[in-house]
Structure 1
Amino acid sequence: MGKAGARELNYVSDVDVIFVGGTADGEALSEPQAIDIATRLARDTMRNLSAIEVEPPLWEVDAALRPEGKQGALVRSLASHVAYYDREEFVESVQRMRERVMEHIDPEDAPYQLKLGAGGLRDIEFTVQLLQLVHGLTDESLRTRGTLESLDALVAGGYIGRADAGTFADDYRVLRLMEHRLQLRDLSRTHLMPKTPAGLRILARSTKLAETGEGVWARWESVRREVRDIHTRLFYRPLLSAVAGLPEEERTLSAEQAHDRLAAIGFRDPAGALRHIGALTRGLSRKATIQRHLMPVMVRWFADGSDPDYGLLAFRRISERLGDTSWFLRMLRDSSGAAESLTRLLSSSRYIGELLEWIPESVAWLDSAERLRPRSAQALDDEARAIQTRHETVADALRAVRALRRRELLRTAMAAVLDVVTIEEVATALTDITDATIQAGLRAVLREVVPPEDAALDFAVIGMGRFGGAELGFGSDADVLYVYDANGVDPGRAEKLATRIVAGLREHLTDHRLPLDLDAGLRPEGRNGPIVRSLDAYAAYYRRWSLSWEAQALLRARGVAGSTKLIGRFMELADSVRYPETVDLQGLREIKRIKARVEGERLPQGTDPRRHLKLGPGTLSDVEWLVQLLQLQHATDVPGLRTTSTLHALDAAVAAGLVEEDDAERLRAAWLLSSRLRSGITLLTGQTSDVLPADRRQLDALARLLGYPPRSATPLEEDYLAVTRRARRTFEQLFYG
């Protein structure tokens, strides 16, 4: 066993052995008698080889690697050995064993420990042997003994990358060389680096690894870092536990049994799945070899998702798009969780799958949770500005900006599905992405549309609705108002230029793959009013014709892009309308009347009101109208209510004693769940919808996106109906009194 079995003995190694005994067929001895005799033979053999007699001992013989270690029987029968070794979950037990070895190292010796310490020989040996244990179940080429020959076999089989294997092999040779030279010096079984300058200097000369003691210590530290890094990545690779835990019939996908097996684990089109697997694994290339190792586990992970057929299809398309890139399959094989995360994304979200087909290199983000976190608004704006300086034409610049938007929407979606971000962080990220896109679009269009002689014209985009409140979900429109100030430019010409700016924005920001709908429907007079107005025209309208619902709409107005000075002036105007010094009681009554009418008129025909996530009872509309009513009533006296955020305003209402905390919690829960469900539907299907699906399969898939266990269609539905029912009761009490 050990180094003796691998033919890797040191000069002063002990010899690891195990003993097996028993009876031959037809012998008169019973098995217990045979084991008793074999035990005496084993003890005598060990004593004869290890005892100090007239001659020094030959070797120290160690049987501690036998089943159950020193607590186990010295000799077992063959059947007893087989029964002991025939166990599952060996991956976790090997990982725990390595950790226990580390825990028992004297802390003072840890930095010097060549054999047992972090980055030492055991890290290499345990890693290689665990890979052999797992993959050798089905691949006989891995049933080798020596560390270096086993590394070669793992490389040839595609189980470890050439670079990692090459580094491991080089570092193994360096560590063994150091070990040999240290043991030769005094013929002592030591595995510790010298702790004195003199000892290091002798090791440097004897190994020729460095000129000085400091140099050989630096070489040791470099090797330790390299070995520990590779060991940590490979030894704790999730694929190892997954492969080891596969049922025997799933370790290889034979054509005869695969169809029925795929159907049994959840694929609705097993024949199609077989075609995809065949396309991915066919051939002798290294890429196909690695895919053959990945497929059994990834197919099982796809089957655990809500749409395994689409997940496997999307994975095939992404694999083909990435072609022969070296990093993709290596990352899936070696990363701590990238393969499992990718299968989870693809089998649960068509929105993500379709974007990944267009931006397949984004799979690399799965190697680090930090790379999935949304980028800051400043970082997005900086990149958008840099893009514009690199492109000469508006069309080229905004094509690149649209690509930036798609990439960041994908990053945010992946983070959301993998629970890297909260629903509030998702809303902030989506708003920042939309802000940066509109800002970049406006800068480019202004350069194209406004000639130098008219540069004094001021233009701005004002965010409204959920966009203004920084509460966007996946698939949300961006509600906006457009405002300009002639600022000395001929009024008629200023109006024409402003109209052309709006047209340019709508043209260049249109993305057929992922539409950005700039919706100006909340402007004065609605869709019957002009698309863009001067600041003076807005002021005249609100002064003369402003209705209660327009004051309500302005509660969420927020400057998004354009002239800072003009945005400031518009917000002053908006404040005078939405936060009036005197509360308009008639206007408040009108808002209540409009809300009751909206509930009956705006719901799509034939839709169950209870399932409508936006307009249904106790959903988004109820919570938002209630909060906005409180703002119109009290924002003049309660500064905390002067916010475009629904939840921040609700918190301010609680702090001011306008709403009880229990009531606020019911409203908050309904608003958050409705928001998550709207985004979840878009992520799941790639389409926007405000209606909770009635189809049980789709509802179950939606539940899983929200973190419910499998087969949770009914629990999700019941939770939603209960939460919105409680919120509706609270709404009616507070809104209508």
Structure 2
Amino acid sequence: MATLPDPDIIGAVARAHAHAPFLHMILAREPALAAALERGVLPPLAAVAIDDAAMPVARRLRLERRRLALLVAIGDLAGVLDLTAVTGALSTFADRALDTAIRTAMLERTPDAAPRGFVAIALGKQGSHELNYSSDIDPILLFDPATLPCRGKEEPQEAAVRIAKRVVELLQARDGDGYVLRVDLRLRPSPEATPAALPVDAAIGYYESQALPWERAAFIRARAAAGDIALGQRFLETIRPFVWRRALDFGAIGEIRGISRRIRDHHAQGQAFGPGFDLKRGRGGIREVEFFAQIHQLIHGGRDPGLRAPATRDALAALAAGGWIDPANAAALSDSYAVLRTIEHRVQMIDDRQTHHLPTGEALDNVARLHGLGQGADLLDLLRPHIGSTARIYDAIEPDEGDGLSHDRARLTGQLASAGFADTTSAVQRIEQWRAGSYPALRSPAALAALEAVLPGLIDALGTSPDPHAAMLRLDAMLSRLPSAINFLRLLEARPALARLLGAILSHAAPLADALGQRAALLDGLIDATALDAVGSVAQLAVEMTNDVGDYQAQLDHVRKIVGEKRFALGTQIVAGAADPLDVSAGYARVAEAAIEVLAQATIAEFAAKHGRVAGSELVVLALGRMGGGALTHASDLDLIYLFTGDFAAESDGEKPLGAVLYYNRLAQRLTAALSVATAAGPLYEVDTRLRPSGTQGPLSVSLDGFARYQRESAWSWEHMALTRARPVFGAPAARAATIAVIDAVLAGDRPARDIVADATTMRADMAAHKPPAGPLDAKMLPGGLVDLEFAVHVVQLVHRTGFDANLGRAIDGLIAAGLAPAALRPAYDLLGRLLVTLRLVAPDAQEPGPVTQALIARAVGLADWPETLAAFERTRQEVLQYWHQIGGGNGT
């Protein structure tokens, strides 16, 4: 069936004859294609292929490129091929031509060897399948010395360079038929000092250790395009972690922005929109759409692999779908990109010139008419809204440069006073110390330049924080401990809102400020707001903490790293007012439980490698106290008991066997060390094992049978009180169930008869004498605080043998339902819990903080202001004391 003529194609051919000398020339030289087009039929793009083995490869490729340029241009002008189809066809041809040139160059030298060991990595528009009519290609040529075919006594490096030169010659040489592709090899590492083709391992080493930020950013669009594709994919997979970094590298972002600014300055004549405008580099042009997408990909792509789309419009769509950019902005930029690239193609197809400028005068009218418009003014009207929206959207991500912070002391003092600093003298001194490079992190020129760039915004952030002086002192302490400050400062420059949150953290939360001093990378989670999300379930956290490296020490470091990130994030949620402190408290506990799970598994495997395992036996970790109740604070230690199931007289089966008792005691020591001993990645938790049977006098680990016997026959009232919050946090389901059964039986009455009320009263009095309240806000130790509430609840539970739940809130609910506690006890527990979690972070000394921190605390506990918070605290303590006295306690408080 004959293809019907398409009038749009006929019209496109007419416009090509009239307004595009290059296309007019091809139409004359390709009569068969021209005849089809003039009938209104667009031949398939495959028709460009020339099946003539006798024709020299270079000439065949030049003719094929010429034919493709004609068919794609007419299809483009007719609207039959959209932008994706146009750029895809041009890019696919570039891949094929480059691959053909590589194979030809290799077979010319070693005809009997398979052409392998040499690959072209496509960067830029070829890498993203977005080539335009007159694009250069920017490959990096790599070779594998072990597999590259060489001539006799020829070094692989010499062979690779000769292959590279021949490839460039085949593609770039011109004759009467034109050329195939312009090739630019300057994106390879250190092009001024390196050969045209590099050994793959040397290239990997460069990108892992020496690459500049913009060089890594270039690999957003990298692709193994021609030659030994498997070799290229191995290279790209190896360097992927150094391109897409989980720890955000704002050096790359700053470098891209710097490139944008330099382009605007260098091409100033093409910035003003109108005739002569630079469609690629001009303000609001193609490059700014690309940079907008790449900047956001660099920020978020390390953590979200779905954003690593090479093509610009695909990247914008992924960023919008992921919630990283405004969908309306993404749509506007995508539309702009399509229009700008289309008009760029019109400009280039007129004379096959590598140009991006709109012409002026009659030449602009000619471009407009080629596109199907009446005159140049119509073309400008088409472009104007897209240029304007792109410029506006791109400008919004540029940090305000503003006026720099003065080096003149008098003017600097005035600037600081205006920013909100009361003690300007101290602030001036600190800034002068930083500028003098008094700390190692600030001694390099690059660090000082980064400092100057960020100081205006940083001072504004600190000046509006609750306590500017305290915030500056903590920032000073951070800078004094940082090994390098460049990335940290660039990060703040790139995200002014982060600087404001940092000011709040430094002002309110000394533990978080100290953590930042050790690991500035903790701020990464704040950039993409993941720090303000819930930390996930224990199972999810355990997966995140598991390191598949296989090295035990690496596993310890990895767990410490993740725990540090999660604890910092949870603390930040309180400072930012993003979460209920009770939810944060539960999050702290889930993080700790996941750490126990992962480290216990790793420690057991490490220990078993030498000592084997005890048949029919396993370790159980029992948590008590706040850990048992799943409600930790930032400063909580872990109250743990180590148990083991099975026969205590058994022996392990390893190379160095141990009896079960000795086996599990040593294993428990190892696990305690894994949880508490600091490594290069920092500390983890303090572990308290004094609640085990017989306390510090007893073995670190006991059999489950021994534990049950001790609890039934010998344990004291305080140990049974502690048992009310006991919860297995490690062990197989059957072992956990057996442990819970023992605890349930003891709590239900299988224990010595004791005067629980009298014992608890004596114990509380001893505690009050030996551990008085730390200050007027000690929500735990003050009379009527959490300790009194816990004592009262545990006494009632044990006396009435009901309401048992390791989670204290649910336990209180059970007692209220049973008529054994007043309804006010639950809100009392919630208030005291919120206060404890918040104060441990922002007022760990339990002293009354400054006014702005008071406001933070009031907000955290859900009250209007500080006076209402103090009144609620006092009222709650009285309610707890009343309950404590009501059940017969209170002599000690």
Amino acid at match of 2:756: L
- Could you tell me which runs of 5 or more consecutive residues in structure 2 were left unpaired when the two chains were aligned: 1-267, 296-328, 345-367, 376-381, 652-657
Contact residue 618 and residue 724 of structure 1 kept, 8 A: yes
1:357 aligns with 2:523: no
C-alpha spacing 1:253/1:657, structure 2 compared with 1 (3 Å): farther
Residue matched to 2:769:
601
Amino acid at match of 2:707: Y
Alignment of 1:546-565 (within 5 A): 546-565=715-734
C-alpha spacing 1:599/1:178, structure 2 compared with 1 (3 Å): closer
Q: Matched residues in 2 for 1:665 and 1:543: separation? A: 34
- Could you tell me which runs of 5 or more consecutive residues in structure 1 were left unpaired when the two chains were aligned: 1-141, 182-200, 209-216, 245-249, 683-688
Secondary structure in structure 2 of the residue aligned to 1:653? helix
Deviation of 1:499 (Å): 0.8
Contact residue 650 and residue 660 of structure 2 kept, 8 A: yes
Q: Matched residues in 1 for 2:514 and 2:663: separation? A: 38
Contact residue 603 and residue 609 of structure 1 kept, 8 A: no
Residue matched to 1:473:
633
1:727 aligns with 2:886: no
Residue matched to 2:748:
579
- TM-score normalized by the length of structure 1: 0.61
Amino acid at match of 1:353: A
Deviation of 1:645 (Å): 1.2
Contact residue 289 and residue 390 of structure 2 kept, 8 A: no
Residue matched to 2:460:
297
Residue matched to 1:523:
692
Secondary structure in structure 1 of the residue aligned to 2:843? helix
Residue matched to 2:143:
none
C-alpha spacing 1:723/1:539, structure 2 compared with 1 (3 Å): closer
Q: Matched residues in 1 for 2:743 and 2:335: separation? A: 71
Q: Matched residues in 2 for 1:396 and 1:530: separation? A: 30
Residue matched to 1:497:
663
Amino acid at match of 2:291: A
The alignment of Structure 1 onto Structure 2 pairs a total of residues equal to 527
Q: Matched residues in 1 for 2:666 and 2:752: separation? A: 38
- TM-score normalized by the length of structure 2: 0.51
Which of 547, 563, 566 matches 1:408? Answer: 566
1:346 aligns with 2:497: no
Deviation of 1:734 (Å): 4.6
Residue matched to 2:758:
590
Residue matched to 2:473:
310
Deviation of 1:311 (Å): 3.8
1:440 aligns with 2:598: yes
1:255 aligns with 2:412: no
Contact residue 619 and residue 727 of structure 1 kept, 8 A: yes
Deviation of 1:409 (Å): 1.4
C-alpha spacing 1:541/1:591, structure 2 compared with 1 (3 Å): same
Residue matched to 1:485:
645
Secondary structure in structure 2 of the residue aligned to 1:473? coil
Deviation of 1:420 (Å): 1.8
Deviation of 1:508 (Å): 2.4
After superposition, give the CA deviation of every residue in 1:500-549 in whole Å (9 maximum; x if it has no partner).
11111122222444351111111222223222111111122122223322
C-alpha spacing 1:561/1:178, structure 2 compared with 1 (3 Å): closer
1:429 aligns with 2:592: no
Contact residue 835 and residue 857 of structure 2 kept, 8 A: no
Q: Matched residues in 1 for 2:273 and 2:489: separation? A: 25
Q: Matched residues in 1 for 2:877 and 2:626: separation? A: 20
Deviation of 1:258 (Å): 2.3
Contact residue 648 and residue 703 of structure 2 kept, 8 A: no
Deviation of 1:595 (Å): 4.4
Which of 379, 392, 403 matches 2:540? Answer: 379
Deviation of 1:570 (Å): 1.1
Amino acid at match of 1:678: R
Residue matched to 1:332:
495
Contact residue 509 and residue 841 of structure 2 kept, 8 A: no
1:703 aligns with 2:864: no
Residue matched to 1:123:
none
After superposition, give the CA deviation of every residue in 1:232-285 in whole Å (9 maximum; x if it has no partner).
656xx8x79xx79xxxxx975642232476475346722432225535799698
Deviation of 1:599 (Å): 4.6
Amino acid at match of 1:567: R
After superposition, give the CA deviation of every residue in 1:139-161 in whole Å (9 maximum; x if it has no partner).
xxx9x995799x99999xxxx99
Q: Matched residues in 1 for 2:451 and 2:878: separation? A: 54
Deviation of 1:644 (Å): 0.8
Q: Matched residues in 2 for 1:326 and 1:153: separation? A: 28
Contact residue 610 and residue 721 of structure 1 kept, 8 A: no
Deviation of 1:706 (Å): 1.7
C-alpha spacing 1:493/1:163, structure 2 compared with 1 (3 Å): same
After superposition, give the CA deviation of every residue in 1:373-425 in whole Å (9 maximum; x if it has no partner).
2422222111233x1x3133x23321222222222211212222112221111
C-alpha spacing 1:409/1:511, structure 2 compared with 1 (3 Å): farther
Q: Matched residues in 2 for 1:171 and 1:161: separation? A: 8
C-alpha spacing 1:601/1:481, structure 2 compared with 1 (3 Å): same
Q: Matched residues in 1 for 2:338 and 2:824: separation? A: 65
Secondary structure in structure 2 of the residue aligned to 1:627? helix
Q: Matched residues in 2 for 1:657 and 1:421: separation? A: 32
C-alpha spacing 1:611/1:383, structure 2 compared with 1 (3 Å): closer
**Percent identical:** 18
Alignment of 1:152-191 (within 5 A): 163-164=291-292
Contact residue 177 and residue 207 of structure 1 kept, 8 A: no
Q: Matched residues in 2 for 1:152 and 1:291: separation? A: 30
After superposition, give the CA deviation of every residue in 1:600-620 in whole Å (9 maximum; x if it has no partner).
43324xx67865432220111
Residue matched to 1:627:
793
C-alpha spacing 1:203/1:362, structure 2 compared with 1 (3 Å): farther
RMSD over aligned CA atoms reads: 4.8
Q: Matched residues in 2 for 1:735 and 1:228: separation? A: 71
Q: Matched residues in 2 for 1:382 and 1:253: separation? A: 50
1:655 aligns with 2:813: no
Q: Matched residues in 2 for 1:298 and 1:446: separation? A: 48
Contact residue 408 and residue 433 of structure 1 kept, 8 A: yes
C-alpha spacing 1:260/1:713, structure 2 compared with 1 (3 Å): farther
Q: Matched residues in 1 for 2:524 and 2:796: separation? A: 47
C-alpha spacing 1:662/1:262, structure 2 compared with 1 (3 Å): same
Contact residue 482 and residue 531 of structure 1 kept, 8 A: yes
Q: Matched residues in 1 for 2:726 and 2:374: separation? A: 73
Residue matched to 2:835:
673
Contact residue 289 and residue 337 of structure 2 kept, 8 A: no
Amino acid at match of 2:815: A
Secondary structure in structure 1 of the residue aligned to 2:508? coil
Q: Matched residues in 1 for 2:672 and 2:612: separation? A: 23
Q: Matched residues in 1 for 2:388 and 2:738: separation? A: 63
Alignment of 1:262-277 (within 5 A): 262=416, 264-266=421-423, 269-275=426-432
C-alpha spacing 1:658/1:714, structure 2 compared with 1 (3 Å): closer
Contact residue 412 and residue 429 of structure 1 kept, 8 A: yes
Contact residue 305 and residue 347 of structure 1 kept, 8 A: yes
Deviation of 1:707 (Å): 4.7
Alignment of 1:19-58 (within 5 A): none
Deviates more, 1:671-680 or 1:551-560: 671-680
C-alpha spacing 1:229/1:311, structure 2 compared with 1 (3 Å): farther
Contact residue 416 and residue 423 of structure 1 kept, 8 A: yes
